[in-house]
Amino acid sequence: MILTEIDHIAIAVRDLEAAVDYYQRAFGATVDHREVVERDGVEEVLLKVAESYIQLLTPTRPDSPVAKAIEKRGEGLHHVGYRVVDCKEALKAMVAAGATPIDHEPRMGSRGTTVAFIHPKGSFGALIELVQE
Ligand code: CO
């Protein structure tokens, strides 16, 4: 088994402040981390749930993949981040199992993680992110 934990559930939203406020009020969740990831054109807020996170994502520019996803499908579940020990090895194993990689090599994610995305096509419709802490 190459997965160690669910790292995060990512939810794409239009109004980050409103979403953070809602999750805080509804769940009593607390903000653990906040970051603008320029490369991906997103701002994210991580709310801690045990050892995992709810990741609220909003686009910072119109050409960001998250902006396009919201335009196409509206707000909602965007991807699942699975925590792995070794992102490169996990990516290799997934590709060998038939996954279609978006990132062919692991790259830098938010909060200093190493990540790689797997295309929903070939993964039963779910966008997958492998996350190595
Ligand atoms: Co993510």
Q: Which residues surround ligand 1, an ion (CB under 5 A)?
A: 10, 81, 129
Query: Phi/psi zone of residue 4: left (φ > 0), alpha (ψ -120 to 50 degrees), beta?
Result: alpha
At residue 71, the pLDDT reads: 96
Q: Which tens digits make up the pLDDT trace of 12-62? A: 999 999 999 999 999 999 999 999 999 899 999 999 999 999 999 999 999
Split at pLDDT 50, 70, 90, the class of 122 is: confident
* Of residues 122, 113, 120, the one with CA closest to residue 37: 113
CA distance 98 to 86: 19
Nearest CA among 44, 82, 48, 92 for reference residue 66: 44
Q: What is the pTM of this model?
A: 0.93
CA dist list (Å): 106 to 42, 92, 124, 132: 19, 10, 22, 9
pLDDT tens digit sequence for 80-109: 999 999 999 999 999 999 999 999 999 999
Centroid of ligand 1 to alpha carbon of 96 (angstroms): 22
Q: Residue 81 Cα, ligand 1 centroid: separation in angstroms? A: 5
